[in-house]
Structures are given as C-alpha cells and as structure tokens.
Amino acid sequence: MKITKVDVIQEKVPERASWRPILCRIYTDEGIYGDGEAALAYGIAAPAAFGMVRDLASLIIGMDPLDNEVIWDKLYKCTFWGQNGGPVVFAGISALDIALWDIKGKYFGVPVYKLLGGKRRDNLRTYASQLTYGWGPGTNHKCCKPEEYAENCKIAVAQGYDCVKLDFFNYDVDGTVWNGPGDAAKGEPMAGEIQTRLLSPYYIKVVEDRVAACREAVGPYVDIIMENHSFPDAQSAVQLGRALEKYNIFYFEEPNTPTPKTAKFISDKLSMPISHGERVYSRWQYAPYFENMSVQVIQPDLGNCGGITEGKKICDMAYTYDISVQAHVCASPLSTAAALHLECVIPNFVIHEHHQINLEEYNKRLCTVDFQPVNGKFKVPEGPGLGAEISEWALTEGVDMKVTVE
C-alpha cells in the first residue's frame, strides 16, 4: 500500500472567525484514506500549520502508510526544523501521523486503541473545561464576579461532571480600574503588569473569592482544576498556590511559561500538583520535566506534540516517573477521538478534557461523530481507525483554503 496524495484543508467558521481548524486526509492506492488534524485552530498559528502540513505531505508521497515510525522519523530528522521544533512543526507532523493511524486501523479493521495495546477502560472520567467562558452551546460570557463562576460550575455538575476547570485570574471583576487608566475594562483580559511578579493582597483576594465561590457551589466531592494559561510568572504562581491550597485544587495548570527550572521552583513550594503540556512538544522537550519531577500531570496535545506515535512515547516515559496524563483537547472532534484512543490504553491516565468548544454546533459539524460524555464519562470510539472522519460539510462548504499534494 502506498500514499498517493494528501488533501490539506483550513476550515472557515462564520460563527467564529478566529476558529480555523486545520485538517488533512491521506489517500492510498488501495482506496483507504485517513484523517488527521493539526491542533492549532485558535491563536494566530493556523495558516502556518496549514503550510506546514502541506510542506511535510510532499515528503510522504509514495511511502507505505503502515510505516508510521519510519515516516515519523523522516519528518523529524529530514526537515531541518523538525529537530527540537515548536508547535507549528509538530502540529504538521501530528496531523499526518494521526491520519496514518486512522489508515492503519481501517486497514486491519480495528479501532486505533487495539493497535496501541488494548483498551483497559471504557468509562473515562471527564471534566468540563474552560467554564470561565460559560458552559453550553452559544455561550461566550466571560466570568467576572464570583457568583458567575459558581453558577457555571453548578450547570456542569448538574450534567454529571465531578470535575471542572476555570481560569480564576483572567478577567476583571466589575469594571474596577485595576492599576490605573488604560488597564483592563470589564470583561477584558488583565494585562501582564497585573498577573506577574509579586502580587498585592488585593489581586490574591480577587482570585481567592472566585475559587471559594466555586468550592462552595460544588461541595467537597467535585474536583477543581485551576487553569492559568501561563499568564502568571513563578513568583505570582507561588503566591496564588499558597493562598488556594486550602480549597483542595486538583491540579494547578500552566502556572507560568513552561520551563523545567521554574516549574521545579513552583512545585517545590506548593503541595498541590502542577501540570504543563499543551506548550511542550516531543519527548525531548518533556524529558527535563520528568527528570526533575517538576510536574505531576502532563497534558500533551496529540494534535501538536507529534501525533499518536509521539504521544504514546511521551506517556510511557511519564509512567516511569509516576506522572499522570490528561491529554489537552481543544480542536475538532477528530482530536477528541485521537485522545480517547490513547487515554483508554495508557496506565497513567487521570482524566479527559471536554472543552466548551466541543459543545458548539460549528465545531461539531466538522466531524461525522459528535463525541459527548454521559454523566461525566466518555465511551471510547469502536469503529475502525479513529472511529470518526471529516464530515462532508467540512470537505465542501466549510473549506477556506485547500491544497492537494501529489
């Protein structure tokens, strides 16, 4: 079997212009095709990911799609920028790699998880992610007041989730001028001037009031993940962590810009688990965090860490250090499928992320399957390959840019 061509697509989403999923489909001479995704749909990197998938695709034409390890090493070693690459390079590799696993599963007539070693769980604990922006289709209300945070938590818990994630230090409270004229207005992100360096007691109390409201709303038996999007620095992260330890935080996610030394600095000073991963790419970049034990949970995104091939290696490495895994998932449903296949196999899985974006119709229509948990638990796809494909809508009406590499 040989790879004959690759379609690379950037989607357009009229409802949210900033949401630009990058998808690909690899075709073979035996009529089997596979779908993948470069998980950089948000931020400003989508067009770069589109170009990267296109450029990398030219290197795999004529190769056997079952040789995923051979192809992976070629994309890493023979592209110059692949070695020690960043999110764009690894997102490109990821998209093609996920599609290759989809082909492999279809070729052998089994779900991807069978090829990864077998499913050890079929009810994956799941958390409601990014409740700071609301919870439910069509919601885009940025929480400011503690009671708004609490209300979103109640909505998710009523749906069966026993874990929620929020960013408590992102938006202002009620129009208060934070640090003089020109600073954050109501509902606008706070500037780095506010979130970094040693914090005044005022800002710490703002965050604590929000966390306290959520803990009171959900009770003692629902976990709370404290998201930070890497906005604080090491000093402010330690201040926040110490103030909030009493609320039994499940883990403290991206407390600062990820580096092994600052992660170690934070971890050593706090009793709560620290997590990093969506901005860490490949086993080489993860290794220092494992070696110094500075993180307790890793969050690799299979759509930008190097795909399923690399993601499995990263998770296996983490297992040798007793580090847990929660795949980062903020992309189309294809990425959800890929994450579920890996998470059901690895022994160090802790919880699955179900992002607010996965509740939106404009994201659901990109895929042939709408993956949603029931009572806070996810079933694993059982169809051959990923168990889901790019939808006809995404292949036709949703196309913003498309190129075929032959």
Residues 6+ apart with CB under 8 A from 97: 36, 68, 71, 72, 306, 307, 308, 309, 310
Q: Which domains does the chain have, with CATH numbers?
A: 3-108+392-405 (3.30.390.10), 115-379 (3.20.20.120)
Bridge partners of residue 3, in order along the sequence? 28
Residues 6+ apart with CB under 8 A from 177: 183
- List the pLDDT tens digit at each of the 406 positions of the chain: 999 999 999 999 999 999 999 999 999 999 999 999 999 999 999 999 999 999 999 999 999 999 999 999 999 999 999 999 999 999 999 999 999 999 999 999 999 999 999 999 999 999 999 999 889 988 777 888 899 999 999 999 999 999 999 999 988 775 443 443 334 445 567 777 889 999 999 999 999 999 999 999 999 999 999 999 999 999 999 999 999 999 999 999 999 999 999 999 999 999 999 999 999 999 999 999 999 999 999 999 999 999 999 999 999 999 999 999 999 999 999 999 999 999 999 999 999 999 999 999 999 999 999 999 999 999 999 999 999 999 999 999 999 999 999 9
